[in-house]
Structure formats: C-alpha cells, structure tokens
Amino acid sequence: MGNQQPVKTAASAPARKRKIGNPINNEKTAGYIFTLPFTFGFLMFMVVPMAISLYYAFCQYNILQPPVFIGWDNFAKMGSDAIYQKSIGVTFYFALVSTPLRLIFALFVAMLLLENNKLSGFYRATYYLPSIIGGSVAVSVLWKRMWATDGTINRILGINFPWLGDTRTAIWVLIILAVWQFGSSMLIFLSALKQIPQSLYEAAMVDGANGWKRFWKITFPLLTPTIFFNLVMQLINGFLAFTQCYIITQGKPMYSTEFYTVYMYDQSFTYYNTGYGAAMAWVMVLIISAVTAVLFATKKFWVYDGGL
Amino acid sequence: MKKKSKTGFVIKNIFIFAFAIVMIYPLLWMLFSSFKPTNTIFATAGQLIPTTWTTDNYVNGWKGFGGVGFGSFIRNSLVIALTATLGTIVSSALVGYGFARFEFKGKKVLFTAMLLSMMLPAQVLMIPQYLWYKQLGWVNSYIPLIVPYCFAIQGFFVYLFSNFIGGIPKDLDEAAKIDGCSYWQIFVRIILPLMVPALVTGTIFSFMWRWDDFLSALMYVNKSAMYPVSLALKLFSDPGTSSDYGAMFAMACVSLIPSVVLFLTFQRYLVEGISTSGLKG
Amino acid sequence: MTRRVTAAAMAALMGASVLAGCGGTGTAQTSAASKTSAAAASSTATTAAPAGSTSGDVSMVFAWWGNQTRNERTTNAIEQYQKDNPGVKIDGQFSEWNDYWQKMATAAAGGQAPDIMQQDYQYINQYAKSGQLLDLTPYIENGTLDSSKWDKNMLESGTVDGKIIAICAGMNAPALVYNKTITDEAGVTIKDNMTLDEFVAAAKTIYEKTGYKTDLSYGTVQEPMNYLLRSDGVVLFGDGKLNATKEQLTKYFKVYEDGIKEGWELGPDVYADITIGSIEQAPIVAGTSPDKSAWNTLLWSNQYTAMNKLAKEGMDLEMTTWPSPDPKKSDFIKPGQFFSVTSGTKNPQEAVKFLNYLINSTECNDILMGERGVPINSDVADKIKSQLDETDQKIYNYIYNVVQPNCSVINPPYPDGYAEAGKVLNNVVEELCYGQIDASQAADEFLAQGGAALAAKSGS
C-alpha cells in the first residue's frame, strides 16, 4: 500500500501530456468522455425536475391547482411547526445511531463470511435475504408481531413491555430493523475485502502478527475507502429513511418516530401542502450536504488513498 | 489461510448458523404464512407452522387481476429490471472509471452534482419528473423506468465503481499505457476484469432495486397488462374492504425467486474475482 | 316486496325533504347546470365535435381502487360493455387505495387524469373545487344519465357547489360489528339505535364480566367524532373552520379519557402493535387475549362480509348502528364510493354513457354484484338482492330496515384540509389516551390546531 501513494501523485501530475489524435486517448479529454453518460443523464433527467421542485418550494401548491409563488413563506412555516422540528430530531437520532451500528455489523459479518467453504454461499444468501425483502408488507406485519406486547421478544425476555407503544423504545424497533437489513453494506465490504492482496497477510503472519493486529494493521486501513463510501451512502440513506417508519409506526406514538421524509410525504401527498413538502426536501438537501461535507473534510485524517 | 483450532471452527459455524436462522426468520414466516388459509394469518401470526396447509393462496395469487395472470407481471418486471440493470452497470462503470482515473476541469462540480442527486428525497421529485417526462412523451410506457438508468443516473453505482477502481493499483494502468494501450483498452482489458466483484455487487443491487421499484411504475405504467410485480403485489390489499394477505404473501415468495437465483448464481464471484495480489506481486 | 316498497317510499320522502329543506338549491342547480351545459357544448364543439354520434373509435380510461374481486368484476363489466358497444375501447386501470390517490393527483397535475374515475367522499370536494370533475347535470337532464330510479339523497351527496360531479357507486352505512358470543356471555343485549350511555354501560359490563375491552376506533376517530357531533346538530369539519364548541368536544373526549381510566377501552399500546385500519388485524378478530381483544369494532356496512370471513370458529359477528346520544340525528347513509367523469375527457358523452351503464344496467350489475355497496338504482338493487348470499342480504336489510328509517342526511363532503385536521384529531386523542392531557385540554388543542389546518386551506 505504501508504494501506491507516490505512484498516484505521479499519475495525477499535470506534467504527463500526450498528443494522440483520438480525444479518448487524450488525458485531458478522456475524463469528459468517460463521464459523458452521467453528464448527459444529469442534465437530461435530473436538472429540470430538480429545478421544478425547487420552484415549488417557493409556492403554495396543492397538486390539483397551478402553483402560486409565495416567496419564503414555506420556509418560515418550518419555524413554527412543532412536528417538523420533532421530525428533525428523530431523523438525526435514527441516522446517527443506525448507520454506525449497521456498518459495524456488516463489516463483522463480511469478515466472518469471507472464507469459502461449502456453506458460505448459503450463509451469504441468508444474511443478504433480509435486505431483499426490504419494505414488504410481510416484514411490517412480522416486525410488529415480534415486538408486540405479547410478541416473540417479550416472550423470550419474559416481560410484558410495549416496545412499539412507548415513546422511548419505538424508535429502537425501527433502528433494529434498519440494522437487520445490513446486507448491501455487507456485500460491498465483501468485495472490498477480497481486493486486499493476500500477500500482505502472508507477510504479516511471517512477522507473527495475530488476527487482531492483522485487522488493525492491514484490513482496516486498506478498507477505509470502502468504509468511507459505506458511511457516506448509509448516512444519506439514514437521513432519507422512509420505509421503516412508513410501514411500521407511521410516526407513532406521539411523533416519537416521525421521520423527516414521512412527514414530508404526508405534507405533499396527504395534506396536499406540496409546496411545503418541496421546501422541506430542499432543507433536507442542505442538512445532508452539510453532514457530507463534514465527512469529506475528515477524510484526509483517516481514509487511505483519497481517490476522489 | 491456515486452519484455526477445530473447536473454534465448530463454535464459529454454530454461531453463524444460529444467527442465519434469526436473520431469515421473517422470510420463513412469510413462506409458512403463505400456506395458511388467508383468513387465519393474523389470528395465528404467533405460530410459524400452519395448522392446516393449503396451496389456495398460490392458486388464487397466480390468477392475478382482471384477466392478467401473475406470470405476466413477473415477465414485465424481468424485462424492466434486466434492461435497466444492464444500462446502469455499463454506464456507471464507464463514468466510475472516468471519475477514478482522470483529472479534469469541472470534475468536482460533476461529482458534487452526483452526490446532490442522491440527497434529494425521491418522493419530492415525483411530480416534477412526471411533468418533465410527459413533455418528452414518455408517460404510459416503460421508457422512464429504463432509459434514465442507462445514463448512470444513480450516483450510488458511479461512486461505488469509482471507489473500487480507486483501489486497483495504478501501476497496472501505467504498465499497460507503456505497452501502448489506449484508455479504452485499459478500461476493457485491465479495469473491467479486476472490478468483477464490484460489478456483481452492483448487478445484484440494481436488479433488486429495479425489481422493487414501485413509485415510477405507479406513475408511468397505466395498462394493467404492463404492471410489474412491485405494483401487482400491492393490489392484494384494500384497506376499505378486504385484503388477501395469503395471496399477497404467496406471490411475494414467488417474486423473490428471481432475486434469490441471481444472488446465488453470482455470489461466488463476489469473493472469487481475479485477485490483484498475483498481478501485483 | 312490501318492505322494499316502504323503503322506496321512505327514500322518496327523504329525498323530497332534502330538496324542500334547501329551497334555494334546486334553482341554483338548474342555473348552474344551464351555464355548464353551454360550456360543455362549446367545449365539445372545439375538441371532439362528433363525440355524441359515436361514429369514430373511442378510447377511454376508467380508473378505480379495490381488491381482487372488484378488479375482476369491473374488468368483466368493461369487457361486456365493449362487446355491446363496438368501437368503444375502455382501459381499466386499478391500484391500491393509497397508490390510487397518489397516481390520480400526479396524473391530474399533468393533465392526464383518466376519463372516468372512482371517487371518495373524502376527496370529491378537493377535486371538484379545482375543476377536475365534469358537471353531470346536463347529462342527467338530457337523459344520457338516467336518474329516475335513484335514491335522491345519494344524488345530493355527489353535489358540490350546485354541480352534480359524482354519482354514488354503492350505498354504505356506519355499522358497529360485535361479537355476539361475548355479549351473550356477559348477559348484555345489544340493540339497534343504542345511545352512547347505553353503549358505555354495556362496554363496562362486558369488561367486568368477560375482560374483553371496547374498540373506540383509536387512530381513526374522525368518523366516530363526526357521527357523535351530528347528534348536536354540528358538522364538525366545516369549510375553513371546526364547527364544534369546546363543551361539545370535551363531552366526547371524556368518553375516551374515562374509558382508559376505567379500563374498558383498548389502550393505545394495543393499536401500536397492529396496522390501524386493516380489518384483518382488528382487535375483534385478531386479538390474542381478552385484554388485547375487543368485543366490537366501528366499521361500515360493506366491510361486514369481509369481517365475517375473518371470524374464528365459534365467533358470531352481528351488526348494529354506532352509538350516539341521538341515533336518528347521527346516523346516515353514505356513498361508499362514487364514479366521476373528469373535466379533461375528450369524450364526455361516451364517458357518461358508460357511467350510465355502470349505475343503471342490470346486466352490468349482475356482473358487479353490488360489491361496491348497495346500488342506488332501486331496480338494480332489487334484482341483485335476490342473488346474494345470506351475509350480503343482511347488509341490504340493515341499510333498508335499520338505518334508512332512522337516519338523517349525510354531512356535506369533507372540506379541503380535512386530511390534516383529521390527523390532528387523532393525535389529540393519542395524547389523551396516553394521559398527557385531559379531555378539556384535548378540545382546546384540537380546536386550535385542527382549526388552523382547515383555515389554511380555505380560499385556496
């Protein structure tokens, strides 16, 4: 790994210029050509809808009638909307608690399942399956049954606690559901773990490093780009989480589990305050941008091999 | 790798197995529930194994709705999910390579745009997107469900691939360049084979997400004969009158089959991709 | 048959009283109608001149929500219609309830609404006020839509601002479904038109004798509150404001508060474990032990069939009216669903013809079999009734013999802002049942926040 850094800087140095006729072989233009599909896709499919929704954020709009421009009113309304403010707190709590838990879990299981034996295919499938069935009705029904006052969890614990009916614990039922669906992060970890050169481990074993030490000296540092990727993605997912709340608690009890996006959805499509909903969405973009920017700022302190 | 002590191995495997059961319990519950008479599912939700077994739910669910069988819904979903996934993977790999290996003016802006597109809640884009696609004349077709994905519209995959490519030693590119390879050849001959695990991961995710995609199907697919599975599954429930949870669970189990088969077919490539160590050493 | 005659007479009388009661409405309606028929004529002239003559091929979209049975039957009815009317092509599009409204809203925003749509009492106001629905008055006047055999009350219920914009697709009434096995065990007789006090007394006795609790529709209390307040002559959700006084609200919130304190009402923790509104999970059929089950549930008559299918072995489910201090003033017959023609349709004449088929054709309704509720066309209703099974016949008898002789006209369609105000109401009841506030605070909070939600929407 150590020898990779200097190579990278050499490559990215602007000194390297090639004069080849085909623009795809020109280092300066090749980047544009390879990223062209995204540039086109973004301009074609994202820019206009995003601009329209940004416009709605400044409108009174009920979907059925044309939007009416009202300036900053929708944003001002957030200041006096107690449920809105509560939903921000709930969402931060959910995102900041469930994301690290999910990643730790995913990495742990990925390490366990790295070895190839007869059963590992089956194991990988079983650990991934919960993510496939995702937000289906069956999950919602069963999850409620499990955490019900007379449900499985209480039976195992021998108590009679209303997990879903208590404002302090209901959010944890959703957090655990999110953690249970760690499959996609696990797969990404698996493929990244496989990318780590086996020779490094062999050398470390010759040096007598134990498993724990090998993890912290080799696996973890080389995995930091993937950890960072998963962290960014899952954090964004966490802030935008919708399904868990929508299918299980619907924000109950007393808005203690009201996700930001669920409240936004209700405003947009249940109460038909669609302009207000759009304004909420753009505030969420600002929140996530800020969080992501902070993450990217910390990147140079702990992530190997920057890349982007 | 060297084998650890035998007892350690056994304990580890018992642990993994027990935990695997916990993980898939909900799936087993759904499977067994689909064999219960539909009106007893909630009353007997606490018990896993049905008291009376029935396959009525499968018969009833497979019948579909209004003369369109469930088989058609699955076929529709396969068409959508497979083409959109192919488009996603190809375009995202190209863009990911562009981001990972080249420095160019505006790269930061483009990358930020990509992140930004992931931060906006999907629900809020629905109406604007509908209006835009209507302008393009795409409403009432599969186009909005497929074409945008062929242009790396999902930043997740671009970022995933570019991150993975970033982990491939750059001296491989350099060596190939010295051998006279063009960037395109480097991408096809060196990068692509090395990123198989990432491509497989991406394929599995993309297929699953397209398969489950429900919002855009709801918006853009009008004809019942063209409904995908994600839309059809919801039709078993009607809060106003009665819902057929038995048939819903039965068909939910059936609709898991493609994703599971895909996963089982490809999962070994996740960990069996060409190892970079050989090339590097 | 005699029963049917009296019922029809009753309906006619009530219809007459409605029209007499609102003297102005009749004339206002006709003047509005003539205006719009002129507008309709001009619009057809520009867009689809030959619409009336059925010369060319006509292609229309008909959208509804519903379950498998409804999708099946409606699709069959469409096929039959297409067979009888060559050249007319109708595309049936069905979705699940929540999805349906999301899809309809988005389609309407893009000017792509279906030609004919199923409508609901909760939404017609909103859709009508934003000009999405076609005024059907001229078509009723020129006979394209035959209203001669309809229950006139139901015609009134689909009228907004003097325009008939929706036709009732099936009649429905509030129905308290109860487990007779339990009430018998407790030695309690549940009779029709029970007062609120009698109901509370019964609930207490049942709780003492059997341990079974009472389902007060926690999570969906808008309808029961609406119902109760009708006994005070109040239309709870008014245009831009709540009409009830603090005293009136406190009186009924107190029932919820006391029920929790005294133990006979199911607590919020029970509802936290289920999906509220899903009858499959209702505590009356899915409860695991008496303290988590109910002896009753507040539903609608058309849900009785489905409820009955969910009844466990040895569970005898019966149906009666919801409790109220004044049952006659509270009770009403409600359109279960409506059909509307949208204003954007290119073929209004053809769309209305199909609507007429859905409502008035006995042949069509032999296929639909009253699945959406009791048909408003008395001939059609009679014909279907004889073919129904025992459970469905019970529903017909309930509507005609129990509700109709002892009810009042339904409230006007819910105003814009109802969805949010209704949510506020449920949140207030939630806080009440969690013991965070008392009945009087609940009334204050609901009046303030619910009122604000309605006020924000008025004038828009």
Verify whether the Cβ–Cβ distance A270 to C288 is below 8 Å. Answer: no
Instruction: Look at B65 and C94 and tell me if their CB atoms are within 8 Å.
Output: yes
CB contact under 8 A, A35 and B99: yes
Q: Which two tokens stand for residue B220?
A: 């853009």
CB contact under 8 A, C272 and A255: no
Q: Which of B163, B220, B237, B255 to mutate to test the interface with A (most CBs of A within 10 A)?
A: B163
* Helices vs. strands in chain B: H and E counts, helices first: 15, 0
C neighbours by CB contacts (3+ pairs under 8 Å): A, B
Nearest residue of chain C to residue B68 (CA atoms): C72
What is the domain partition of chain B in residue ranges?
69-280
Average pLDDT of the segment spanning B105-110: 92
Tokens of A206: 């010759």
Mean pLDDT of all residues in C35-62: 53
C425 HSE (CA, 13 A, CB side): 27
Q: Residue A10: its pLDDT value, please? A: 39
- The class that CATH gives domain C174-331+416-457 is alpha beta
Collect all residues of chain B within an 8 Å Cβ-Cβ radius of residue A184.
Answer: 205
What residues does B195 pair with on adjacent strands?
none
Domains in chain A, ordered, with CATH?
Answer: 75-302 (1.10.3720.10)
Q: Cα–Cα distance between B143 and B149 in angstroms, integer?
A: 10
Residue C56 has a pLDDT of 64
Half-sphere exposure of C348 (CA within 13 A, CB side): 25
Place C33 in a pLDDT band, splitting at 50, 70 and 90: very low
pLDDT the model gives residue B6: 79
**Which chains border A (3 or more CB–CB pairs < 8 Å)?**
B, C
Radius of gyration of chain A (CA): 24
- Yes or no, beta carbons of B130 and C109 under 8 Å apart: yes
pLDDT-derived band at A21 (thresholds 50, 70, 90) equals: low
Does the structure show a pLDDT above 50 at C44? no
* Listed range (B49-53, B258-262, C31-35) with the worst mean pLDDT: C31-35
pLDDT band at B86 (very low <50, low <70, confident <90, very high): very high
pLDDT at B81 over 70: yes
Amino acid letter, B64: G
B residues 210-229 near A, CB within 8 Å?
Answer: 212
Please state the rounded mean pLDDT for residues A89-102. 96
Task: Please give, rounded to a whole number of angstroms, the shortest distance from the CA of A234 to a CA of chain B.
Answer: 10
Decide if pLDDT at A285 tops 80: yes
What sign does the CA torsion over C67, C73, C78, C79 have? positive
Query: Does residue C349 have a pLDDT over 50?
Result: yes
Predicted confidence (pLDDT) at residue A95 exceeds the cutoff of 50:
yes
CB C379 within 8 A of CB C149: yes
Compute the nearest-CA separation of C80 from chain B (Å). Answer: 13
Pairing of strands C174-179, C296-300: antiparallel
Q: Which residues of A touch B233 (CB under 8 A)?
A: 136-137
Chain A: residue nearest B165 by CA? A307
Q: What is the pLDDT of residue C9?
A: 45
The confidence band for A63, taking pLDDT boundaries of 50, 70 and 90, is very high
Q: How many Å lie between the alpha carbon of A236 and the closest alpha carbon of chain B?
A: 6
Do residue A37 and residue B94 have CB atoms under 8 angstroms apart?
yes
Task: Please determine, for residue B14, whether its predicted confidence score (pLDDT) is greater than 60.
Answer: yes
Beta strands at C116-119 and C334-341: parallel, antiparallel or unpaired: antiparallel
Q: Is A145 on the interface with C (CB under 8 A)?
A: yes
Q: What is the pLDDT of residues A117-152, one digit of tens each?
A: 777 788 888 888 888 887 777 788 888 888 988 888
Task: Summarize pLDDT for C127-148 with one digit per residue, the tens.
Answer: 999 999 999 999 999 999 999 9
The answer to whether B134 contacts C110, with C-beta atoms less than 8 Å apart, is: yes
A192-206, A274-288, C155-169: least confidently modelled range:
A192-206
Q: Which positions ≥6 away from B251 have C-beta within 8 Å?
A: B58, B61, B62, B70, B229, B232, B233, B236
CB pairs under 8 A between A and B: 305
Q: Residues 6 or more apart from C72 whose CB is under 8 A from it?
A: B65, B66, B67
pLDDT given for residue B13 in this prediction: 82
Assess whether pLDDT exceeds 90 at residue B67: no
C37, pLDDT greater than 80 = no
Residue showing tokens 């010759």? A206
Give backbone dihedrals phi and psi of C317, rounded to 5 degrees, phi first.
-95, 130
- Contact at CB, C97 and B39, closer than 8 angstroms: no
Say yes or no to pLDDT of C34 above 80.
no
On the question of pLDDT at C25 being above 90, the answer is: no
Query: Chain C partners of A165 at a C-beta cutoff of 8 Å?
Result: 267-273
Q: Same topology for domains C2-170+335-405 and C174-331+416-457, yes or no?
A: yes
pLDDT tens track for C383-430: 998 888 888 999 999 999 999 999 999 999 999 999 999 999 999 999
Structure-model confidence comparison of residues A304 and A232, the more confident one: A232
Measure Cα distances from C173 to A161, C154, C319, C406, C449 in Å: 38, 12, 11, 12, 29
| DSSP code for C412 | P
B217, exposed or middle or buried, with CB in 10 Å at 0-12, 13-18, 19+? buried
Say what the pLDDT of residue C289 is.
86
The answer to whether residue A146 neighbours chain C at the CB level (below 8 Å) is: no
> Is the CB of residue C99 less than 8 Å away from at least one CB of chain A?
no
Task: Express each pLDDT in A185-238 by its tens digit.
Answer: 998 998 888 878 888 888 888 888 888 888 888 889 889 999 999 999 999 999
Q: Do B111 and A139 touch (CB under 8 A)?
A: no
Topology of C2-170+335-405 in CATH? Answer: D-Maltodextrin-Binding Protein; domain 2 (3.40.190)
Residue that wins the pLDDT comparison between A71 and C16:
A71
Of the pLDDT bands very low, low, confident and very high (cuts 50, 70, 90), residue B273 is low
The shortest C-alpha distance from A215 to chain B (Å) reads 14
Bond preceding residue B50 cis, omega within 30 of 0? no
DSSP C249-301: HHHHHHHHHHHHHHS-BPPHHHHHTS-TT-GGG-HHHH-SSGGG-BSEEEEEG
The H-or-E segment that residue B118 falls in is helix B107-119
Q: Counting Cβ atoms within 10 Å, is residue B180 exposed (0-12), middle (13-18) or buried (19+)?
A: exposed
b/e for C364-384, b at 16 or more Cβ within 10 A?
A: bbbbbebbbbbbbbbebbbbb
Q: What homologous superfamily does CATH list for B69-280?
A: MetI-like (1.10.3720.10)
Query: Which of C337, C395, C322 is CA-nearest to residue C154?
Result: C337
Mean pLDDT computed over B115-143 = 92
- Both tokens of A220, joined, read 């973890």
A173 contact residues in C (CB cutoff 8 A): none
Q: Which of residues 16-45 of C touch A (CB under 8 A)?
A: none
Among the partner residues C71, C96, C312, nearest to B234 by beta-carbon distance:
C96
Chain-chain contact of A38 with B158 (C-beta, under 8 angstroms) = yes
Q: Are C378 and C372 in contact (CB under 8 A)?
A: no
**β-strand C159-160 against C88-95: which pairing, if any?**
unpaired
Measured CA distances, A241 to A102, A175, A247, A251 (Å)? 14, 11, 12, 12
Instruction: List C119's β-bridge partners, or say none.
Output: C338
Asked if A268 and A261 touch (Cβ cutoff 8 Å), the reply is no
Q: In the predicted model, what is the mean pLDDT of residues B35-60?
A: 88
**Backbone angles phi and psi of B213, in degrees to 5:** -60, 125
| Domain extents in chain C | 2-170+335-405, 174-331+416-457
Residue of C142, C131, C127, C148 whose CA lies nearest to C8: C148
Q: Any idea which residue has 């006084």 for tokens?
A: C245
Is 90 exceeded by the pLDDT of residue B226?
Answer: yes
Average pLDDT over residues C55-76: 89
- Residue C434 is nearest to which of A141, A254, A273, comparing CB atoms? A254
Alpha carbon of residue C26 to chain centroid:
24
Residues of B in contact with A124 (CB under 8 A): 267, 270
- CB proximity under 8 Å: A 22-81 to C: 60, 62-65
Residue B213 at interface with chain C, using a CB cutoff of 8 Å: no
DSSP letters of C426-455?
HHHHHHHHTTSS-HHHHHHHHHHHHHHHHH
| Chain A contact present for B143, CB below 8 A | no
C427 touches chain A (CB under 8 A): yes
Q: How far is B187 from chain C (nearest CA, A)?
A: 42
Other Cβ atoms closer than 10 A to C220 = 16
Q: What is the mean pLDDT of residues A236-259?
A: 91
Give the model confidence (pLDDT) of B186-214 as tens digits.
999 999 998 998 999 999 999 999 998 88
ipTM value for the complex: 0.88
Confidence of residue A305 (pLDDT cuts 50, 70, 90): low
Q: Which of residues 126-185 of B touch C (CB under 8 A)?
A: 126-127, 130-131, 134, 139
φ, ψ for residue C93 (rounded to 5)?
Answer: -120, 125
Phi/psi of residue C337, nearest 5 degrees? -145, 165
Q: Cβ contact (<8 Å) for B252 and A137?
A: yes
Mean pLDDT for all residues in chain C: 86
Q: Does B145 touch chain A (CB under 8 A)?
A: no
Q: Residue B109 pLDDT > 80, yes or no?
A: yes
What does the alpha-carbon distance between residue A87 and residue C106 come to, in Å, rounded to a whole number?
A: 26
Residue C111 near chain A (CB below 8 Å): no
pLDDT at C51 over 60: no
Distance (Å, whole) CA C106 – CA C113: 8
Structure tokens at A307: 């890349």
Does C309 have pLDDT greater than 90? no
Residue A306 pLDDT > 90: no
For residue A18, pLDDT over 70 is answered with: no
Q: What is the pLDDT of residue C10?
A: 42
Tens-digit pLDDT profile for residues C202-243: 999 999 999 999 999 999 999 999 999 999 999 999 989 999
